[in-house]
A = this chain, B = another copy of it.
Amino acid sequence: MDLEKLFRPRSIAVVGISKKNPLSPGRIVLLKNEFEMEVKVYGIYPNGGEIEGIQLYERLDQLPEIPDLLVIAVGPDDTLEYIKECGDLGIPASVIIGGGFAEIGGKGKKRQERLEKIAFESDIAVLGPNCLGVYAPPIVDTIFLPTERITRPPKGSVALISQSGGVLVDQFFVKFNERNIGVSTAVSIGNRAVVDEVMLLEYFSRVDPETTNIAFYLEGFKEGRARDFLQLAKESEDTVIVFFGGKTREGKVATQSHTASLAGNYKIIYDALRQHYIIQPHSERELLTCLKVFDILAKKRNPFGDNVITFGDVAIVSVSGGHAVLASDMLKKYGLNAVRFSHQEKRDLKSLMNPVAAEIASFNNPIDLTGSVLDTDIENIIRYLSDVERIECIILLLLPYPPNISFQIGRRVANIITSKNKPVVCFVPYVSKYSLIIESLELANIPVFHSIKETVQAVSALKQRTRVDNLKLKNMFWE
């Protein structure tokens, strides 16, 4: 089944357009693609005519070409007719927006079985039903929510696949955008009658050149597909991340009315995923934190070089003692350790500071530079620690409140980090006046977070990824 036509179509057709209701899903998809996306789009309407200057065709077989993809936004019985027509005309892919299939049980289930039969027999890559479809910038966007209501994430390395359209456009699009995490393709899979998580994993890890990180929000595996998913993930060179909804009994009850998924025993799933090198964040925030660092590492100018984090040995550098305490409190939970400095190292560190701060700063790990810190102190300390081999990563808690820290500090720190290649993860408060500092660091591809927890989680994500990479490598040689 050719998924490329689903995600990189040259042309699409849309059925289910209303001339009266400007908010009908079909009409929104027609106009979105015509005016915002690169794909060639055709509208189908029983009596023809036009909408906003776009010519409408009465039937699919009247189109000047066979489109790569048909977007269907009509009732369930008509949907089946259109899928048959795709088979007859040789349209290779379809997105079915509407519901009325397996998710309503009874006759809906029967409908879905018929849909599957036709699609597999005619080799049509059907996405859905009951989904938002595809967002693959700059080519195509079948998300039927009005453009003015949506937040779109930037372009990047992450293929994002969600069993919930709501979670996709809200939790992920909004927060990807806030954190500047880039998406290659976003997919809402709905009932996944035909195209499912296994086919998507295969496509994004083996075919799609833009994707290096593949993230799933699932409420359970499709029946009989877990094994294939795990095997593919194990073989994939991309980083595979799965975040499960419906992990608890209460959540499971909810998934049953939502996607009719049998979430199963999460502990068994958890262990299986871990054995197959799949990263499993414990919370949505952790998912976002992972994706942010992995998306940055996928960039050509990766400031961390080939450094890996094997043991999780970190140094914490803070401008505020309290922040240092809070970060230290989280280390163990995230599998990290504070390295111990020798007496000589402490003396060295002290000698690198301005005399006022040197007297009151503390040079244990965490290092508390205090509010008397100067830009040069931060530079000197980061430069020194970068050369200490047993430190695998530096956590820099950079609070720009002290009067003598300049607004150049972001650029100044970035220069050292990029010259040293030592992994450094930064915390900078998310305050608009500090955006200059944040941007300087991010322009140099240095990950910046705005909560202490996410900063620590990010280092943990780097360690987890190293472990996954090492395991895969080992796997190649030994199995």
A positions within 8 Å CB-CB of B: 23, 28, 99-100, 103-104, 144-146, 148-151, 162-171, 174, 217, 219, 245-251, 253-255, 257-259, 283-285, 316, 318-333, 337-338, 359-360, 362, 364, 366, 368, 371, 399-404, 429-431, 433, 451-453
Contacts and interface: CB of A to CB of B under 8 A. Distances in A.
A164 B331 CA distance: 20
Nearest to A329: B251
Nearest to A150: B401
B253 A338 contact: yes
Question: A170, A247, A251, A324 — which one has the most chain B CB atoms within 10 A of its CB?
Answer: A170
Question: A162, A168, A249, A254 — which one has the most chain B CB atoms within 10 A of its CB?
Answer: A254
B250 A332 contact: yes
Given A165-B320, A248-B332, A145 B360 contact: no
B328 A164 contact: no
Contacts of A371: 145, 165-166
B167 A326 contact: yes
Contact of A328 (B146, B254, B283, B328): B254
Contacts of A219: 322, 325
Given A246-B329, A251-B326, A328-B253, A321 B258 contact: yes
A325 B245 contact: yes
Given A248-B329, A257-B362, A169 B321 contact: no
A162 B326 CA distance: 13
Oligomeric state, in copies = 2
Contacts of A319: 166
Nearest to A174: B429
A434 to B, nearest CB: 9
A284 B326 CA distance: 9
A451 B283 CA distance: 12
A167 B170 CA distance: 30
Given A23-B404, A145-B402, 11 more contacts: A104-B360, A146-B403, A151-B429, A166-B322, A170-B323, A171-B323, A217-B322, A246-B328, A248-B332, A254-B325, A254-B327
Nearest to A336: B250
Contact of A164 (B164, B285, B325): B325
A319 B165 CA distance: 11
- Closest 10 pairs between A and B when the two form their complex, measured CB to CB: A166-B320, A164-B322, A258-B321, A251-B329, A167-B322, A257-B362, A23-B403, A254-B328, A245-B325, A254-B325
Nearest to A168: B322
B360 A99 contact: yes
B322 A368 contact: no
8 contacts: A144-B403, A145-B402, A164-B322, A167-B322, A169-B401, A245-B326, A254-B329, A285-B451
A168 B283 CA distance: 27
A259 B322 CA distance: 9
Given A28-B403, A104-B360, A332 B258 contact: no
A164 B320 contact: yes
Contact of A166 (B100, B332, B399): B399
Contacts of A283: 453
B329 A245 contact: yes
A474 to B, nearest CB: 30
Contact of A368 (B144, B168, B170, B257): B257
A453 B366 CA distance: 30
B254 A320 contact: no
B258 A167 contact: no
Contacts of A104: 359-360
Nearest to A370: B99
